[in-house]
């Protein structure tokens, strides 16, 4: 088991200053990226897991354990490492910090795969433990899938020397192969199959062997075959079979057939063709190739047609038009032409040959045909979609609001993209469809998705994370999935009223104990916090009441007990104060009543409660809201 521990030097101060908030909130981690997602039995590599804190609080002193119960064939090796936020590099387990809200943390584990692991997808647990303040420990277990699959060797042609074979000449044909697969090839044998239709006649061995050698992944091998290029061979590209055979790591015999493109040319061409082309492109990319034609003959040429064609298996194809015409080309005259191409998004990685045909009428009136070949390497990039957000600072219960997801593809082309919004039960719902589909997002392309939501009037205040799932395919057809969260903060405005005011006795006399009873009701859309009542009166008695939290649609009683010491009119001021998400609020009400001297029951001296004005003096002091 491997653990990562993150501590904080000033944790005591941080917990002290945020104790109330932490008690009601907590961190919540989601995996935003896992690499690699496919491994081979016996492989040793580094697992990188990017987590994002989408909760409502920080997490400190995190302990991260990869597969602690050993339920999968993925076995951690040595101590893990951690990188937090914008840190330039991963640190050891002694790195001091906390993971704040919306902050990312990258965990790295060196691991090995059980050599006897079966081919399937395993669920690998990552167990997180952290301090949440006030001596509280939190635990979270994340599951992510890693596929174990045996890898095979796979050979690609990197280079052919010479690039052109002069007709009628003898040369050594050199073919350079690269093992682009995930396994080694043992005891490799390579047979050049030069049949009757081939432009070459072997004049030496047609088999090259790498006896008792392991051709490891990424290694290049060089094959050499002495050949004679047949006389009077037409200029064009010929594809000669190359048959490969080897044993893999389980002593199983594997075979592969490769078509090697060979360009045969007239050793004394009239037109010299040069080109400018990228050495390497990604599958799905568009690109340009320029050709420069130079007349090296003794006279002018007429009716010159330049045609570019698709490579083998249509991996690289020209965009229309694929043919250009020149009326003439004088001696030592030079012309430059440009063609646009596109690499098929389904192409495999490797070297591809683009044929070019040049036909013209020579100065002697004879029609000539000339072939050229342009080598091009195709690579594949996995799509990587980054998600940005443009959100309202907050909403209130019952609000309709807009949110924008900004997708940017920093990897290879992504296809069949589905953005799925998971509504928050009946609390926050999308007003439109909850599934947005994109056909394609090319490398470097961005796309903004505008979403409209409606919230329930009964929504309680706090932070809501709307789950959004992205599903898409790479050019290899492999389905990818990533989970995002749209954080929405809900703020509410409390509204308190004073109701049902009663005074007992109704006819107070000097020396009586007077009770003032009332109810406070919250008719707003959020809870009121720190609710207090203060009665400003010259009479003696209990004149304060602390209510604390008063939830929306709730009410509560308040009672004040006073002692009348003198007869006459008494003026009292009742002040109500409270707080909500928008700051502090308050209102006051004036209460007047008469106290008799106790010597007569004349109705004129009966207590009269004069509510001269229910004046809402209402003061409002806006505080900066959190976030």
**Mean per-residue pLDDT pooled into runs of 10, the chain (627 residues):** 39 32 64 84 85 84 85 84 58 55 85 86 88 81 86 88 86 92 89 87 92 90 93 82 90 91 78 88 87 86 90 81 90 92 80 88 73 82 84 88 88 85 74 84 85 84 86 79 87 86 84 87 86 86 84 88 81 88 86 75 36 32 36
Is 591 in the same domain as 545?
Answer: yes
**Confidence at residue 256, expressed as pLDDT on a 0 to 100 scale:** 93
364 and 420 belong to one structural domain? no
User: Is 401 part of a structural domain of the chain?
Assistant: yes
Residue 474's CB is within 10 A of a number of other CB atoms, namely: 21
Contacts of 108 (CB under 8 A, 6+ apart): 46, 47, 48, 49, 80, 81, 82, 83, 90
Q: For residue 6, is it within any domain?
A: no
8 Å CB contact between 118 and 96: no
Contact 13, 89 (CB under 8 A): no
- Find the domain containing 113 and state its range: 11-148
Q: Which residue in 287, 409, 283 sits closest to 346, CA to CA?
A: 283
424 vs 466: CA distance, rounded Å: 6
Residues in the chain: 627
Q: Does residue 312 share a domain with residue 242? A: yes
Instruction: Mark which of 379, 399, 422 sits at the end of a domain.
Output: 379
Query: Is residue 466, in this structure, part of any structural domain at all?
Result: yes
Domain count across the chain:
4
Claim to verify: residue 301 and residue 342 sit in the same structural domain: yes
Whether residues 189 and 121 fall in one domain:
no
Please calculate the CA angle 253-254-258 and round it to the nearest 5 degrees: 150
Q: How far is CA 548 from CA 460, 532, 574, 575, in A?
A: 18, 7, 17, 15
The answer as to whether 435 is a domain residue is yes
Q: Report if residue 462 sits inside a domain.
A: yes
Q: Using the 3D structure, point to which of 471, 490, 509 is the last residue of a domain.
A: 490
CA atoms within 13 A on the CB side of 98: 19
Q: Which of 350, 379, 408 is the last residue of a domain?
A: 379
Residues in Cβ contact with 480 at an 8 Å cutoff, skipping those fewer than 6 apart: 382, 383, 414, 471, 472, 473, 474
What's the angle, vertex CA 239, arms to CA 322 and CA 236, rounded to 5?
A: 50
Residues 368, 287 share a domain: yes
Q: Is 2 within the bounds of a domain?
A: no
Q: Does some domain include residue 268?
A: yes
Regarding whether 588 and 470 lie in a shared domain, the answer is no
pLDDT at 621: 36
Residue 290 in contact with residue 337, Cβ under 8 Å?
A: yes
For residues 207 and 345, membership in a common domain is answered with yes
* Whether the bond into 36 is cis, omega within 30 of 0: yes
Domain co-membership, 369 together with 431? no
| Domain match, 479 and 572 both | no
> What is the domain-level CATH number for residue 195?
2.60.40.10
pLDDT at 620: 34
Same domain, 335 and 205: yes
CA angle 411, 414, 415 (to 5 degrees): 175
Both tokens assigned to 257: 């057939």
Query: What does the pLDDT read at residue 425?
Result: 60
Alpha-carbon torsion (466, 471, 474, 478), positive or negative = positive
- Residue whose C-alpha is closest to residue 106's, from 31, 2, 216: 31
Residue 273 lies in a domain: yes
Q: What is the pLDDT of residue 97?
A: 60
Same domain, 511 and 595: yes
Two structure tokens written together for 120: 């399937």
């Amino acid at each position: 088991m491997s653990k990562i521990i993150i501590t904080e030097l000033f944790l005591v101060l941080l917990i002290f200053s945020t104790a109330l908030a932490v008690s009601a909130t907590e961190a919540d981690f989601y995996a935003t990226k896992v690499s690699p997602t496919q491994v081979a039995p016996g492989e040793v590599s580094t697992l990188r897991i990017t987590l994002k804190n989408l909760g409502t609080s920080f997490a400190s002193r995190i302990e991260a354990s990869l597969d602690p119960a050993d339920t999968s064939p993925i076995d951690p090796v040595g101590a893990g490492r951690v990188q937090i936020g914008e840190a330039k590099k991963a640190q050891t387990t002694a790195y001091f910090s906390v993971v704040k809200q919306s902050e990312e943390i990258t965990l790295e584990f060196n691991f090995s795969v059980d050599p006897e692991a079966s081919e399937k997808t395993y669920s690998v647990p990552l167990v997180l433990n952290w301090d949440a303040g006030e001596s509280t420990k939190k635990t979270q277990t994340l599951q992510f899938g890693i596929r174990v699959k045996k890898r095979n060797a796979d050979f690609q042609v990197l280079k052919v020397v010479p690039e052109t074979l002069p007709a009628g000449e003898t040369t050594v044909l050199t073919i350079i192969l690269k093992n682009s697969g995930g396994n080694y090839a043992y005891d490799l044998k390579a047979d050049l199959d030069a049949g009757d239709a081939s432009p070459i006649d072997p004049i030496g061995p047609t088999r090259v062997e790498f006896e008792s050698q392991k051709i490891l992944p990424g290694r290049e091998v060089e094959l050499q075959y002495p050949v004679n290029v047949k006389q009077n061979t037409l200029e064009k590209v010929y594809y000669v079979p190359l048959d490969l055979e080897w044993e893999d790591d389980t002593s199983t015999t594997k075979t592969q057939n490769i078509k090697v493109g060979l360009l045969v040319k007239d050793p004394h061409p009239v037109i010299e063709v040069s080109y400018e082309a990228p050495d390497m492109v990604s599958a799905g990319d568009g690109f340009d190739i320029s050709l420069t034609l130079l007349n090296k003959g003794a006279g002018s040429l007429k009716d010159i047609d330049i045609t570019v064609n698709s490579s083998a298996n249509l991996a690289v194809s020209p965009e229309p038009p694929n043919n250009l015409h020149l009326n003439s080309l004088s001696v030592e005259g030079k012309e430059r032409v440009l063609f646009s191409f596109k690499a098929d998004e389904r192409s495999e990685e490797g070297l591809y040959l683009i044929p070019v045909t040049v036909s013209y009428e020579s100065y002697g009136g004879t029609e000539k045909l000339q072939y050229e070949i342009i080598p091009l390497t195709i690579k594949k990039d996995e799509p990587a979609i980054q998600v940005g957000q443009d959100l309202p600072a907050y909403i209130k219960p019952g609000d309709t609001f807009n949110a924008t997801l900004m997708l940017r593809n920093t990897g290879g082309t992504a296809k069949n993209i589905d953005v799925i919004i998971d509504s928050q039960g009946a609390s926050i719902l999308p007003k439109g469809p909850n599934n947005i589909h994109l056909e394609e997002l090319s490398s470097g392309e961005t796309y903004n998705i505008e979403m409209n939501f409606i919230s329930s009037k009964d929504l309680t205040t706090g932070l809501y994370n709307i789950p959004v799932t992205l599903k898409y395919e790479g050019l290899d057809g492999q389905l990818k999935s990533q989970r995002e969260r749209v954080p929405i903060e809900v703020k509410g405005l409390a509204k308190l009223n004073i109701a049902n005011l009663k005074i007992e006795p109704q006819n107070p006399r000097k020396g009586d104990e007077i009770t003032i009873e009332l109810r406070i009701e919250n008719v707003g859309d959020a809870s009121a916090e720190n609710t207090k009542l203060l009665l400003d009166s010259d009479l003696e008695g209990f004149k304060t009441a602390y209510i604390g939290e008063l939830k929306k649609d709730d009410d509560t009683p308040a009672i004040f007990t006073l002692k009348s010491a003198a007869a006459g009119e008494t003026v009292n001021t009742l002040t109500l104060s409270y707080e909500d998400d928008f700051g502090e609020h308050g209102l006051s009400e004036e209460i007047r009543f008469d106290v008799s001297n106790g010597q007569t029951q004349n109705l004129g001296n009966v207590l009269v409660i004069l509510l001269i004005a229910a004046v809402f003096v209402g003061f409002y002091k806006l505080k900066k809201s959190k976030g």
